[in-house]
């Protein structure tokens, strides 16, 4: 199967950058979101990023213009997917929302279209049965920010065909991203399971009063040579994102250890979601809207 047209559903911090990767790779790409404001912000952000790339000579002006000529923005789901070959879903990390989106995609997209979810933790077998084509459903987990991070976890469930997995891997290659194929499903996949283990331990140490979050971050940076500490990373990726991921894992496993911590629940209630709101564990000069 050859992919020529790509659609991305959700224009947030992940979706708009995945769409640009598609356009840069030569695919006719449509970015869909229910909010016109979100689409306008996405287009402005991408223009700014691409302008910087041109100045740094990462791409030429011609490449920038060609990519934007292939990238289209719409609030209409049917318009976005009615003639596409691959859809990558990048909406909020809530299972019921994703299942609803996939059911609608199944109604609007051609029968040959492959559906991928960019979920950072939800396995596609929990979503695939919302469609009539489970063999064409898989995970394509890009990392934040997609235009910078050179890794994609492609996850093949028991329902996923070999062709679907192969196509997803090929698309990542065309996007100039290193793809790794997981042959079996596991909630959270590989990178995030390792990351969450670090974050859970860091949170336990903080809530246990062993050290302040700033000092824990400092130890992780200085002693383990991580570029940023676990609390800084939670602020960067969004405390709400981490909260929903943990809540989903808790619902799947029932293990109290997977439940979001008291601190995260307090941050959620206070609307302190990290850099995007101007305050998380740390305070920032101004919020960065996704």
Q: Catalytic residue positions?
A: 120, 141, 153, 192
Residue showing tokens 């879903």:
89
Peptide bond connecting 212 to the previous residue in cis, omega within 30 degrees of 0: no
Burial class (CB in 10 A: 0-12, 13-18, 19+), 54: middle
- Residue 255 exposed, middle or buried by CB count within 10 Å (0-12, 13-18, 19+): exposed
Q: How far is the C-alpha of 154 from the C-alpha of 141, rounded, in Å?
A: 6
**CA atoms lying within 13 Å on the CB side of residue 64:** 17
Closest CA to 39 of 72, 6, 77: 72
CB atoms under 10 Å from CB of 258, counted, come to: 19
274 phi, psi to nearest 5 deg? 110, -150
> What are the DSSP calls for 221-288, one per residue?
HHHH--SS-HHHHHHHH-HHHHHHHHHHHHHHH--GGGSPPHHHHHHHHHT--BGGGTBSSSB-SS--
């Amino acid at each position: 199967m050859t992919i020529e047209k790509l659609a991305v559903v959700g224009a947030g911090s992940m979706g708009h950058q995945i769409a640009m990767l598609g356009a840069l790779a030569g695919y006719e790409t449509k970015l869909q979101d229910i909010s016109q404001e979100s689409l306008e912000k996405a287009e402005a952000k991408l223009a700014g990023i691409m302008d910087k790339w041109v100045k740094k000579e990462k791409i030429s002006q011609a490449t920038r213009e060609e990519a934007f000529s292939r990238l289209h923005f719409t609030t209409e789901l049917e318009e976005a997917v009615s003639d596409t070959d691959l859809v990558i879903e990048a909406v909020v990390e809530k299972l019921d929302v994703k299942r609803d989106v996939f059911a609608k995609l199944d109604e609007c997209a051609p029968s040959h279209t492959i559906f991928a979810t960019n979920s950072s933790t939800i396995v596609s077998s929990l979503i695939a049965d919302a469609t009539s084509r489970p063999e064409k459903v898989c995970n394509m987990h890009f990392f934040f920010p997609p235009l910078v991070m050179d890794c994609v976890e492609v996850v093949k469930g028991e329902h996923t065909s070999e062709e679907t997995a192969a196509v997803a891997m090929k698309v990542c290659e065309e996007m100039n991203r290193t793809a790794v194929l997981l042959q079996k499903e596991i909630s959270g996949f590989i990178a995030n399971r390792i990351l969450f283990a670090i974050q859970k331990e860091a949170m336990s140490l903080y809530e246990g009063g062993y050290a302040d979050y700033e000092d824990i971050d400092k130890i992780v940076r200085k002693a383990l040579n991580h570029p940023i500490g676990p609390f800084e990373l939670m602020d960067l990726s969004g405390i709400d994102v981490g909260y929903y991921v943990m809540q989903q894992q808790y619902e799947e496993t029932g293990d109290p250890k997977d439940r979001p911590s008291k601190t995260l629940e307090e941050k959620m209630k206070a609307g302190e979601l990290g850099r995007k709101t101007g305050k998380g564990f740390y305070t920032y000069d101004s919020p960065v809207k996704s």
